[in-house]
Amino acid sequence: MKKIFLSILTGIIISFFNNVLAKDIIPNTPTLVNVHTVGLYQVGNDVTIYKFPDDNSQILYRVRWNSDEFFPADIGANNFFSVFVSKKELALINVVDIADGWVEIVYNNSTGATGWIKEDDPYKFMTWINFYNTYGKKYGLNILKGAPAFCKDIKSAPEDTAQNISTINVPKHIHLNLIRGNWALISVMDLDKAPKTGYVRWRSEDGVRYYFPAVK
């Protein structure tokens, strides 16, 4: 009887944590999944995901969430959102493609599973470049944990062969000036209080992101 009770209690606890919506979801490590996405789309709190871009297509999921809960639990908020900031009601998901009023999204970031949602507003889509220019310039950038050491090298030009002019050590703030391809022109105030300006690789040739806007 005791084992049955513990099993039920464990299930309730797991279900609770799967359904409680994390207050802030911001990438903190580089990922090899979803590197070929083209940008982000802002979604509301009731999202219907179709298998194909067709009203008559199979409905894969209906995702609903509020400040306390996320459904369905088998996806989970951390797998659905690429960025979620509760106080701003900012909910962004990864986009694979846009076609004829439909948006192909990644609805499970851990598996890379994709589906289609209806595009209700074209201005809710941002390319990665636009997203970084908007939020990176406003809030600065964070270096993702586990990013390769070379992405901390500050170059004189947006080229791998360019001269290293400095290195980021313990940054207090990384300000984004502009994005040029896979390179970012940044200004850094490091722990040594010496300002540093130059180019760093914010993304690999394969699309792996090493930096991410410090959205607040």
User: 3-state SS string over 32-47?
Assistant: CCCCCCCEEEECCCEE
pLDDT band at 2 (very low <50, low <70, confident <90, very high): very low
Q: What percent of the chain has pLDDT over 90?
A: 78
Partners of residue 196 on adjacent β-strands: 188
Q: What is the pTM of this model?
A: 0.86
Position 85 scores a pLDDT of 94
Position 33 scores a pLDDT of 84
Domains of the chain: 2-120 (no CATH), 129-213 (2.30.30)
Long-range (24+ apart) CB contacts under 8 A made by 153-162 are 153/200, 154/186, 154/188, 154/196, 154/197, 154/198, 154/199, 154/200, 155/183, 155/198, 155/199, 155/200, 156/198, 156/199, 157/199, 158/182, 158/183, 158/185, 158/199, 160/201, 162/199
Q: 187-201: per-residue pLDDT in tens? A: 998 887 888 999 999
Q: 120-171: per-residue pLDDT in tens? A: 999 999 999 999 999 999 999 999 999 999 999 999 999 999 999 999 999 9
Position 101 scores a pLDDT of 95
Q: 96-121: per-residue pLDDT in tens? A: 999 999 999 999 999 999 999 999 99
Position 21 scores a pLDDT of 58
Tokens of 164: 């290293």
3-class DSSP assignment, residue 71 = strand
Q: What is the mean pLDDT of the chain?
A: 89
Q: 7-66: per-residue pLDDT in tens? A: 433 443 344 444 455 578 999 999 888 888 999 999 999 999 999 999 999 999 999 998
Position 194 scores a pLDDT of 82
What does the alpha-carbon distance between residue 12 and residue 25 come to, in Å, rounded to a whole number? 23
Q: Which amino acid is at 63?
A: V
Give the list of residues 6+ apart from residue 82 with CB closer than 8 angstroms, or none.
Answer: 25, 27, 40, 92, 93, 94, 106, 109
DSSP class per residue in 141-159: EEEPTT--GGGGEEESSSS
**Taking a C-beta distance cutoff of 8 angstroms, is the pair 142, 132 a contact?**
no
pLDDT band at 76 (very low <50, low <70, confident <90, very high): very high
